[in-house]
Amino acid sequence: MRTEYPQGRASPSPPPEGVKETWGGPAFPWEYPQGRASPSPPPEGVKETWGGPAFPWERRARQLGALLVLLMAGSAPADSPDARYRLNTPTAAYRVQPRDAWHLPAAGTHNPAIATRPHAQRIADAARAAGIDPELLHAVVKIESGYDAAAVSPKGARGLAQVMPATAERFGHDGLDAGARYLRHLIDRFGGDLPLALAAYNAGPGAVERHGGMPPYAETQAYVPRVLAEYAALRAERRRLPTRWQQGGAWRDGGPEKSGS
């Protein structure tokens, strides 16, 4: 016999073989005390069902009862000792925990204007080690020596950066590295004022300090604007390189990726 719900839907499954269908109670005799059968047959016009309620309101009542149980269970805080149902999920696993070391990689730069100039790699390495822009060191080298590594000034300054022997001995045996470090030292000494640092590179820091600014020397006053103009022109040619994440590459956690200069 196939039984249905009042809406015409079939019951979940027919009763097992040998089990008698009943109305209003369990189908198995042992579910009642002393093995009694269900209390009464179904009312006239109501179809028998197996495994579910016969009346629509019975299903609704069960659903409302389940909802009431959930609401009562949630009436106390989840971490309260009075809560019947407690959420034991570790909250630290779902807490925002910012890490100082995590950030997007900085965009690299490339400058075609200096990439093809003489001694480009040496100048780039020296500038990076000293913490100054390679364009700035290129500008100084161009104005000081015209990229002539064998240049010697009348006063005895030597090499690409035209460094005096005493300065080279103090800041590094290689003249180019010494010139880059010396320029970095002057920038820091004069509070980041690049024109005064360049004036000190040309005329000496003592002259800048004695005059309280740009020394009144024709050579120095012509030298500083030339270096600044060359530096500005080279910086204008700098191009940003897209990072791996901008190109759709996989981001690796653990800090910014290294990019070429």
Helix residue ranges, H only, the chain: 56-73, 112-115, 120-130, 134-145, 165-171, 175-189, 194-203, 205-211, 218-235
Cβ-based burial of 140 (10 A; exposed 0-12, middle 13-18, buried ≥19): buried
Catalytic residue among 4, 17, 21, 144: 144
3-state DSSP assignment of residue 59: helix
144 labelled catalytic: yes
Structure tokens at 242: 């897209």
Q: Residue 243 is encoded by which pair of tokens? A: 């990072």
Residue 15 CB-half CA count within 13 A? 16
Cα angle 61-63-68, degrees, rounded to a multiple of 5: 90
Pairing of strands 108-110, 239-241: antiparallel
Here the tokens at position 237 are 């040619």
What is d(CA 212, CA 236) in angstroms, rounded to the nearest whole number?
A: 31
Q: Please, are residues 222 and 228 in contact by the beta-carbon 8 Å criterion?
A: no
The crossing angle, in degrees rounded to 10, of helices 194-203 and 134-145 is 30
- How far apart are alpha carbons 169 and 158 in whole angstroms? 12
Contacts of 81 by beta carbon, 8 Å cutoff, 6+ apart: none
Which residues belong to the active site?
A: 144
